[in-house]
Structure 1
Amino acid sequence: MAAPSLVLDASTGAPLHAQLAEALRGAILAGRLAPGTRLSSTRALAEQLDVSRNTVLNAFARLLAEGYLVGHTGSGTYVARELPERLLAVRHAPAAPTPARHVDPRALSKRGAAVASVPPLAAPAEGMAPGRMAFRMGVPALDAFPSELWGRLLHNRWQRSWRDLLSHIPAAGHLPLRRAVADYLATARGVRCVPEQVLIVNGTQQALSLTAQVLLDVGDAAWVEDPGYSPAHGALIAAGATRVPVPVDAEGLDVEAGLRLAPHARLAIVTPAHQFPLGVVMSERRRRALLAWAAREEAWVLEDDYDSEFRYVGRPPPALQGLTAEARVLYTGTFSKVLSPALRLGYLVVPESLVDAFSTARVFVDRHSASLEQAVLTDFITQGHFSRHVRRMRVLYAARQEALVEAARRELRGLVDVSPLHTGMHLVGWLPEGVDDRAASAKAAQAGLQAFALSAFQLQGRPRGALLLGYACVPEEELAEGVSRLARALR
């Protein structure tokens, strides 16, 4: 053939074989090399371009592998008659009218319609900074994420074991990570478990869903804190369970109230170390009463320990799961609130008698969590980086909480009452009696702030209005600006 005009430039730094492959590909797609055209031999093309024959061989090998060229033994190399673009793209049908967004109620099951009616926690609107939006909750300090270190660990892990990481792993998760999590929980939270009891999941929500699916039958009652973590309700509804809202006071979940409302419930979902959203710690008396109820009724407790790493005064209370050897407790935590919500890795510790059932159920959800992220996280923990990161974040979050409290005292007097807490990543800002917290939340949203209304997490009753103010992901100067904007919005 007469080769099309091909220009290679060694000064660009790009490999010559890659330049040649791209030039030939461009000529094929532009039609300068028609389908079925026989190419010059590699030796002749190398002489024409004044490059080594290996350069041409590598370029041809790439285009053969991608389907732009075909080789015929004893005949030569030809432009493919069917190009990859035609084989990978569908023929576009005439544009149809855009269907209405209305969903026919008959298209959903009753359970599906109920799940779809549960409002999820709102994410920032498109175009708004996702990580530093005052006063967004549940997001760690992404500006303090150890990105360079994580990148090195990622690179090193890929270089060492990429072949293994491209295959399936056990549904329960990467065993070295399960060992690391078990060791960490035993030391930091007093959890009693062996690595085989740890399941790696895609965050707390998947742990909630698996628990509801495996342990509850349709119609079974489940205690939920009121106010409490609303995404848990979606998991219960999807399992066909009946939610029983149990009030929360200064001692945490009111176990006596739960006994009056549904003494034979099958499950209780609680946040004892730092109740969401009020921030109270469950008392020792309530903890013992909850465990006694579970043992007596052969019920289960799901302990959501979502942000216990961040305690600023004194030692944290030990996990419910570790209080007695026979505790009927499943324990869940997440790395999303410690490192990044994009990581989507958490853990669920189940009693030994449930390990096989949960591992099997996990297969039918999504097989397993991403292998590469699990391997990198294992290195991050076992090399000591995780504990150092948590220590740094405790100092940072304590300073940010103090900055929020001080700014609120200066600018929100008479509008929002904000007091410090010893733990967590958000504070409760109490509104004056009679003020509608949903209206206040809407005013904050108009000012570009995300301050959830406390009543949005309440199933029964209308408590005193309050706004939930996250501080972990927002630098101190931006917290001060956020408080100023909130004050203007509420006035």
Structure 2
Amino acid sequence: MFLQIDTAANTPLYLQVYQRFHEGINNGQLQAFQRIPSIRALASELNVARGTIELAYQLLISEGLLVAKGAKGTFIAQSVKNIQDHQTNKYHVADAVVSEKKDQKQENKQQYNITEYPQNIAPFKLGIPALDVFPVKLWSRLSASILREASTTQLSYPDPQGLFSLREDLARYLVMSRGINCTPDQIFISAGYCASLTLIMQSLFKIGDIGWFEEPGYHIARSYLQHIGMKLTPIEVDSHGIVVKQGEKVAPKARFALVTPTHQSPTNVSLTLARRIELLDWADSNQSWIIEDDYDGEFRYQGRPLPALKSLDKHERVIYCGTMSKALFPALRLSYIVVPKSQIAQFYSVAKIISNQSSIWQQEITHRFIHDGHFARHLRKMRNLYRQRRQYLIDAIVHNLSEIFEIQMQSGGMHIVVKIINGQSSKQFAAVANQNGFGLESLDEWSMNSSNKQILMLGFTNIKNEAIADQYCKQLREISSKMLILNE
């Protein structure tokens, strides 16, 4: 979980955590009976001592705001209902009041069983989570339970914004994990990232509008936006992220900028605070929009997690895009956006027309998965697993490919970036390797203009152990040797 604590501030860290929980309770983001992270889990997330979190929790318990229930965990106390406005659970959308009762079911006691997941994933394939450890049996049990409990009200046309209870879950998750203060009425659920882009484009833009696009950048989004008639201006990405000054020079009046600030796709660099402020200032002064794609912001392996760009959005110019494809699995086809309050009615009117949200049953299952605490546990497991699998690949590259690859180390993401240092073409290397069953990609494929950089991307999330990583890298070394012989 992400709580915006500042180690340089005069306020003690335990007091910052304490104050953050108070804010969440007062503004309704934290509700009665909701389970909160364990002391150990939150201390690990924030990279602080357990005593710091324990002291904050003890203060909250002494005030009657938290209740410790032993092995079951720590929960928001029932008494917070008395200090929250009775209208907290009602949200207005386009002058229509939408409300649902809170689900206060008892804690789900099902075990978090991990099962093998059949897959046919090419080695080093990008953007695919570790499907071999996804809790398929648990997901199946939740699915069966939801279908058994289905009522006739669930058979009608769904809310254009998506399932209300899931949007509540996402709002709580975003305020805690990504630093985004939002309410369920700001969230719209879609059937995948391109569906989210469809809703954004039809709500705010028209064919021929100019937008900044990271160079290199996510090629699927680029192809889609060009397909629907947007004019994209490539803006260079350096070690600090998108070069805002270049964008202001070549396309100062662009209507939007699509960025991946937490882990730039595909270079994995993080947008620095100075660049974030520059970008936000440009959007505010030009009345342009920033589309923030936070595709794998949950996965960071060094230091504290970075807040989303949206958390700094004082002028409401950022539209935040999240997805469950990386955190859960791609076939779920469930993504979501957070829109400024001033744009809710506009987005709602478009959402009613295009009806591009994911299956209501998948939304129900995802809600139950989050609500019962499985999602938080799954993310913690995945972070630890990816940290380990990332190291397997790094060690194998160092041991087998040190004369061919130079690792471009970054602190997060789901793939490793390497530079070919023996003079071979990255584009040709990727083509030959993929003909031999691999799934790595060259940076050239992600660029609108030829990058002339010998850069490859190698996904590590499905590398199960050291032996497999070593085997793959030995095969890449053999491919490199054969290519050198053929090119002589």
TM-score (norm 2): 0.72
Identity over aligned residues, as a percent? 37
CA–CA separation in structure 1 for the residues paired with 2:468 and 2:354 = 40
In the alignment, structure 1 residue 478 sits paired with structure 2 residue 465: no
1:156 and 2:177 matched = no
- Structure 1 residue 289: Cα displacement: 0.4
Could you tell me how far apart the structure 2 residues matched to 1:224 and 1:308 are? 19
- Tell me the amino acid that sits aligned with residue 307 of structure 1: D
The residue number in structure 2 matching 1:341 is 330
**Match for residue 82 of structure 2?**
none
> Cα distance, 1:156 vs. partner?
1.2
1:393 corresponds to which of 382, 396, 411:
382
Alpha-carbon offset, residue 318 of structure 1? 1.2
Structure 1 residue 457: deviation in Å? 0.6
Q: Is the 8 A contact 1:170 1:368 kept in 2?
A: no
> Within 5 Å, which residues of 2 pair with 1:40-55?
none
- Compared CA separation, residues 313 and 163, structure 1 to 2 (3 A): same
Superposed CA offset, 1:155-204 (max 9, x none): 11111125333332111100000000011001000112110000111122
Q: Measure the CA separation in 1 of the matches of 2:405 and 2:353.
A: 47
Q: Counterpart of 1:490?
A: 480
Q: Give the number of equivalent residue pairs.
A: 363
Change over 3 Å in CA distance of 1:349–1:392 after alignment to 2: same
Per the alignment, in what secondary structure is the counterpart of residue 149 of structure 2? helix
Conserved? CA contact 2:195–2:356, under 8 Å: no
Contact 2:324 2:332 in 1 (8 A): yes
Deviations 1:244-302 (A, max 9, x none): 00000000000000001100000000000000100000011100000000000000000
Give the Cα separation in 1 of the matches to 2:415 and 2:178.
Answer: 21
Structure 2: how far apart are the matches of 1:340 and 1:367?
19
Tell me, in whole angstroms, the C-alpha distance in 2 between the residues paired with 1:364 and 1:441: 42
- Residue 371 (structure 2) aligned to one of 369, 372, 382: 382
Closer/same/farther in 2, CA of residues 358 and 257 from structure 1, 3 Å limit: same
Kindly tell me: are residues 284 and 387 of structure 1, through their superposed partners in 2, closer, same or farther at Cα, counting changes over 3 Å?
A: same
Q: Is 1:370–2:359 an aligned residue pair?
A: yes
How far, CA to CA, are the matches of 2:207 and 2:355 in structure 1?
Answer: 23
**Shift of residue 433, structure 1, vs aligned partner:** 6.6
**CA deviation profile, 1:386-410 (whole Å, cap 9, x unmatched):** 0100000001000000000000011
- Mapped to 1, the partners of 2:369 and 2:455 lie a distance apart of 38
| 1:462, distance to aligned residue in structure 2 (A) | 2.3
Q: RMSD of aligned C-alpha atoms?
A: 1.5
Amino acid at match of 1:328: R
**Equivalent of residue 438 in structure 1, options 405, 420, 427:** 427
Find the partner of 1:210 among 199, 207, 215. 199
Partner SS state of residue 291, structure 2: strand
Name the SS for the 1:224 alignment partner.
strand
* Equivalent of 1:265 in 242, 254, 262: 254
SS at the partner of 1:347?
strand
In 1, Cα distance between equivalents of 2:195 and 2:471: 36
Gaps of at least 5 residues in structure 2 are 1-117, 482-488
SS at match of 2:331: coil
2:187 is the alignment partner of 1:190? no
1:220 partnered with 2:209: yes
- Kept in 2: contact 1:212–1:235 (CA 8 A): no
Equivalent in the alignment of 1:239: 228
Q: Which runs of 5+ in 1 are unaligned?
A: 1-128
Structure 2 counterpart of 1:396, one-letter code:
L
- Give the direction of change, closer, same or farther, for the CA distance of 1:369–1:417 in structure 2 (3 Å limit): same
Instruction: Give distance in 1, aligned partners of 2:422 and 2:402.
Output: 14
Q: Residue in 2 aligned with 1:141?
A: 130
Larger Rg: 1
Number of the residue aligned with 2:49: none
| Matching of residues 449-488 of structure 1 within 5 Å | 449-476=438-465, 477-488=467-478
Instruction: Please say if 1:255 is aligned against 2:244.
Output: yes
My pick for the range that moved more, 347-356 or 203-212, is 203-212
